[in-house]
Structure 1
Amino acid sequence: MTPPPLGRPRNKDGPAFDPALDDTELAAVRDALARGRWTEARRLLAETGEDWDRRGHRLVVLAEGAASSAWAREWQLAEPDSPDAAALLACATVCRAVRGQEIPEVARAACLTAARMAPADPTPWLGILILARRTGTDDERVRAFDQVRARHRDHHHAHHLMAACLAEHQTGDRDDPLHEVYDFASWAAEQAPADSPLAVLPVVAHAERYRVLARAGVEPHDPARSGHWATRRARQVMKAAFDWWLEWDVDDGTAHPRRKVDLNYLAHAKLHEGRPAEAAALLTRIGPHATQAPWSYPDQDARKAFRAARRAALGSA
């Protein structure tokens, strides 16, 4: 369910990709569950609590095992009121449905049962979104995503899944720079909190589109032979997204990502309000390099606008 990281070989001779990532405790519990020791999964999920991103990741990884649904059913028989057992069974049933081993309606029903047992948990709706990506309609995918976001608005896995779903809409024989996946990724980056990895979702959108275009034969399977990543727009998107994620400012001893962007916008607001001295102070704090927001259009030169605004503010102060 989790896509391979960018740059990793995807062929069978490449290094193995472990969906558990660096969660060594999850990897150990997954191995224990494969041997029928579901009590360790119960402990892990109880410790995870309401860390929804981590809970979703852990449940999906645990659910991918070939025997996970069987052991989840055994757990549920022992503890029929356990929302964790219901969530694991729901995700495992979704995995089976995606592999063609279960009827999609059965998987969806299991997810809805788990959702009723834990109304605040976005994970059962994440399961429905995973299922809808393979077997559902556009409306079903959007509804599932909205349900996840209503419970945890910055759910990383759900946003990555929606980017993948939207990227798979291919109506022509070329890439469209106005494709909806780019708008979605830009919107999500704009909405994300200051410390969210969703700031790099515009880069993910480009990677997902390239995957779809290569599969359709529009782009070569080797990215090095493609112009997709060499276009001005692609370079701007990647640079802006990583600037957005990596640039920091320190306030009261605390480092805040994206603060430079916030200050940049605030400085321009002060300038337009006729308060040039305050704008000049903010622009001085930002430093000589403006940060271009990841949803900026390629025909807008953020740095040029920044320098003009800075000169205007400092000249009026």
Structure 2
Amino acid sequence: MLCVIIRTQPRRGGRPAVSPPPPPLGRSRKKRTAHAFDAALDDAELVVARTALTQGRWTEARALLAATGNDWDRRGHRFDVLAQEPTTEAWARDWRLAEPESYDAEVLLAFAAVHKALRGKARSDKVRARCREAAARQPADPTPWLALLLLERSLGREEDVVRLFDEVRHRHPEHHHAHHLMVARLAERRPDAGQDPMHEVYDFASWAVEQAPAASPLAVLPVVAHAERYRVLAVAGLESVDPAASGHWTGRRARGVMKAAFDWWLEWERPGAAPAHPRACIDLNFLAHAKSCEGRAAEAAALFHRIGRHATPAPWSYPDRDPYEAFGAARAAALGST
């Protein structure tokens, strides 16, 4: 159980605020717009289905979700991205009216309701009920529980977040998005503790890696924990918003987690290796978290999310740089500084 890993801390009046990530390093506002982050990442099929859904053509989304099958990581990612569009709820209702028995239509409505509640435009109690109704239809599917975790990560009590994480993990122990949500929530504990090496977010990340199979992309979770803790400290004014000027990215812990992550990546890419996880199961959420820090974390994101060489015309929203070329310099810097 997760309670063995997380040390309970006293609540300090109300729910913890969800702080935005610090601004990217070394980009003007105008240039940052040219490199806008797309939540769909490298999933070209998802981009097509999302575009069609915004135009009222829900059949493309239906076909995409049906083809995703039991790839729980990609399934959760696709539902989440589709639901972020403000028009999704209306078109998903049309889908459910046309196919009242469609389970995927109900789950998409639940995800859309979650994002509506996160925007402050829906009652959270009704959204919770909708997610639970969807979960009851397919008990083995972790996806409706992921929707609930998304909601409670921002609005819920800590004990609810832990309980929902356990629900997801019970159905898919390596669910990447769920692990990232837990890391983000834990990183927000005790910002006044600064760079405490004993902070619970690091305990959780280490525990998750120990529990995962050797080939699991969860091996990069300590890097995510480090990036999330930096986000919290930068917003609190305890670290520079410029990663290059922050000791958070030059200290011993940063060097250690980056070296371990690069070593895992090299082993995973080794010729002849047969990892248990195909490229389609690589952690799609790492980029969203590491993107908030430009320095080394951005280089790592470009590497860990490589599902085929240049799968899109503008890979990882960096059309002017090749992650393969960046890898040599980034790895040399990470290993040379240890």
Matches within 5 A, 1:1-317: 12-13=29-30, 14=32, 15-247=35-267, 254-256=273-275
Give the Cα separation in 2 of the matches to 1:102 and 1:256: 42
Alpha-carbon shift at residue 171 of structure 1 (Å): 4.9
Give the Cα separation in 2 of the matches to 1:83 and 1:249: 37
Give the Cα separation in 1 of the matches to 2:40 and 2:232: 25
Higher gyration radius (CA): 1
Q: Structure 1 residues 250, 39: CA separation in 2 closer, same or farther (over 3 Å shift)? A: closer
Aligned residue type for 1:74: D
Alpha-carbon shift at residue 10 of structure 1 (Å): 8.3
What SS does structure 1 have at the residue aligned with 2:192?
A: coil
Give the Cα separation in 1 of the matches to 2:26 and 2:265: 25
**Contact 1:250/1:256 (CA < 8 Å) preserved in 2?**
no
Q: Structure 1 residues 103, 9: CA separation in 2 closer, same or farther (over 3 Å shift)? A: farther
- Which TM-score applies when normalising by structure 2? 0.70
Give the Cα separation in 2 of the matches to 1:120 and 1:71: 26
Give the Cα separation in 2 of the matches to 1:180 and 1:202: 12
Determine the structure 2 residue equivalent to 1:283.
Answer: none
Alpha-carbon shift at residue 148 of structure 1 (Å): 0.6
Determine the structure 1 residue equivalent to 2:333.
Answer: none
In the TM superposition, structure 1's runs of 4+ consecutive aligned residues that sit over 6 Å from their partners are 6-11
Give the Cα separation in 1 of the matches to 2:187 and 2:215: 25
Give the Cα separation in 1 of the matches to 2:77 and 2:27: 21
Give the Cα separation in 2 of the matches to 1:83 and 1:55: 13
Give the Cα separation in 1 of the matches to 2:182 and 2:161: 8
Which structure carries more relative contact order (alpha carbon 8 Å, separation 6+)?
Answer: 2
**Contact 1:249/1:255 (CA < 8 Å) preserved in 2?**
no
* Unpaired runs of at least 5, structure 2: 1-19, 277-338
Say how many residue pairs are matched: 255
Instruction: Give the alignment's Cα RMSD to 1 decimal.
Output: 2.5
Aligned residue type for 1:225: A
- Which TM-score applies when normalising by structure 1? 0.75
Give the Cα separation in 1 of the matches to 2:28 and 2:161: 29
Aligned residue type for 2:179: H
**Contact 2:83/2:108 (CA < 8 Å) preserved in 1?**
yes
